[in-house]
Amino acid sequence: MTDDPLTAQWTSAQVEVMHRLRDWVVDFGELNQHLAAWMRLPGTDANALGQIIWAAEAGTPLSPAQLARQLGMTTGATTILLNRLEAAGHVHRSRENADRRRVTLRPTAAARDRARQFLGLAGTEIATVLRTTPPDELTAVATFLARMTAAADEANLRLGRES
């Protein structure tokens, strides 16, 4: 690394972007707390369910190991969490892959419907911003966020190797 992030001279625009990213993370966490209350789940369980629903909707359902990495939990703790979600009727595990050892996580229809109801209430302001932002601005933001995500992924891989 050529710059020490704590001592480098940052432009006001760079500092502003980092503040806005932090604010989004904080606000997204608060929205997740509201989702947890809506779904009558502990925060971690709601976060996990949200990740499972999001991945399934994108056509890239998660495995328990992938979910554990995303949540920053051990596989054992994730198994316990999945047992709770499955017992509550929110998630089911299946073996859809040719490799029958691989487990795929899918939300139940009821969990998906309940989450959609929440998004209908909670996502109004966010949907408005997305719908009213010019396409070229959305493209620039998506490109920037993809680069920031790739940088964070690289840092996480490096830190994982060092620990």
* CA–CA distance, 106 with 63 (Å, rounded to integer): 9
Instruction: Give the pLDDT of residue 71.
Output: 93
- Name the band, by pLDDT with cuts 50, 70 and 90, for residue 37: very high
Instruction: Give the pLDDT of residue 102.
Output: 82
**What are 100-158's pLDDT values in tens digits?**
678 999 999 999 999 999 988 888 999 999 999 999 999 999 999 999 999 998 998 88
* CA–CA distance, 70 with 67 (Å, rounded to integer): 5
- Name the band, by pLDDT with cuts 50, 70 and 90, for residue 56: very high
Q: What is the pTM of this model?
A: 0.79
Tokens for 3? Answer: 């710059």
> Where does 104-146 show beta strands of DSSP type E?
104-107
Q: How many CB atoms are closer than 10 A to CB 111?
A: 21
Interacting residues of 42 by C-beta distance below 8 A, sequence separation 6+: 36
**What are 59-110's pLDDT values in tens digits?**
999 999 999 999 999 999 999 999 999 999 999 998 877 766 789 999 999 9
pLDDT exceeds cutoff 60 at 1 = no
For residue 157, which amino acid is it? Answer: L
Instruction: Give the pLDDT of residue 125.
Output: 93
Instruction: Give the pLDDT of residue 162.
Output: 85
